[in-house]
Amino acid sequence: ETGVTQTPRHLVMGMTNKKSLKCEQHLGHNAMYWYKQSAKKPLELMFVYNFKEQTENNSVPSRFSPECPNSSHLFLHLHTLQPEDSALYLCASSQDHRGGTEAFFGQGTRLTVV
Amino acid sequence: EDQVTQSPEALRLQEGESSSLNCSYTVSGLRGLFWYRQDPGKGPEFLFTLYSAGEEKEKERLKATLTKKESFLHITAPKPEDSATYLCAVQALIDAGNNRKLIWGLGTSLAVNP
């Protein structure tokens, strides 16, 4: 496989459920990101990891918990979400965590919270 | 306040009808401007990076240009497969320590009719 792969592609969960989103990159990049994309809003950066270390957390609620076991894998653990958390969650990777180089995105996970 | 504005919000063209999309920005220190293409239900796909005013880049029917205040994405003789949302993102310097942030526009939704 090449590029950035996200699973699952679609997820429906209740507000009391716990689920995880997975991202894997095969590009040899050092930095990985989680973004949230909602209708009529610009892309929102959630978390940034560089060489497995979290370098940015943009005031994201604690019901979203990221995990980066190595520079190729990134998870987003979800628990007790709210309906307004329904969105497209995108994973991305880049060579430079400071944003100086282009990012490559996965296909995204379409999350619906019911 | 750092800001990125894309116009128009939506554009409908006939096949072969050339046009331009605009990305205007007000940031304190530009470190790069990125163009991405996003198809429905998918993650953004990187197109171009521009770093300084006067720079131009081309790829097939697309040409991106940059001035000190805005960037244009020119589409020459578009085809239906060019239909997508085109996103612009600006990397801005946020402090003297060379820390940066990426500011995204809302995108232009392009539809090319056969």
Summarised one tens digit per residue, pLDDT across range A31-50 is 999 999 999 999 999 999 98
Asked whether the predicted pLDDT for residue A1 surpasses 60, the reply is no
**Secondary-structure percent of chain B, ordered helix, strand, coil, rounded to 5:** 5, 60, 35
Nearest CA in chain A to B48: A102
Predicted pLDDT at B28: 81
CA distance B1 to A62: 28
Nearest-Cα distance to chain B for A98, in Å, is: 6
| A111: confidence class by pLDDT, cuts 50, 70, 90 | very high
Strand pairing report for B108-113 and B10-14: parallel
| A53: confidence class by pLDDT, cuts 50, 70, 90 | confident
**Residue closest to A68 by CA, chosen among A105, A26, A31:** A31
CA distance B64 to B57: 5
Tell me whether residues A103 and B103 touch, CB distance under 8 A.
Answer: no
Residue recorded with tokens 């090449």: A2
**Residue closest to A91 by CA, chosen among A1, A4, A12, A19:** A4
Q: Which of B46, B98, B99 sits opposite A104 (nearest CB)?
A: B46
**Residue closest to B3 by CA, chosen among B109, B110, B88, B97:** B88
Judge whether A46 and A36 are in contact, CB under 8 Å.
yes
Interface of A with B (CB under 8 A): 4, 6, 40-43, 45, 88, 90-92, 98-108, 110
CA distance A21 to B96: 36
Tell me whether residues A105 and B99 touch, CB distance under 8 A.
Answer: no
Nearest-Cα distance to chain B for A102, in Å, is: 7
Helix-then-strand count for chain A, H and E = 0, 11
- What is the percent of chain B where pLDDT is above 90? 82
Asked whether the predicted pLDDT for residue B50 surpasses 60, the reply is yes
Measured CA angle at A72 (ends A67, A75), to 5 deg = 25
Nearest CA in chain B to A96: B100
Q: Which of B4, B91, B106 sits opposite A99 (nearest CB)?
A: B91
CA distance A88 to A43: 10
Interface of B with A (CB under 8 A): 4, 31-32, 34, 36, 41-46, 49, 87, 89, 91, 98-106
Residue A28 makes CB contacts below 8 A (sequence gap 6+) with none
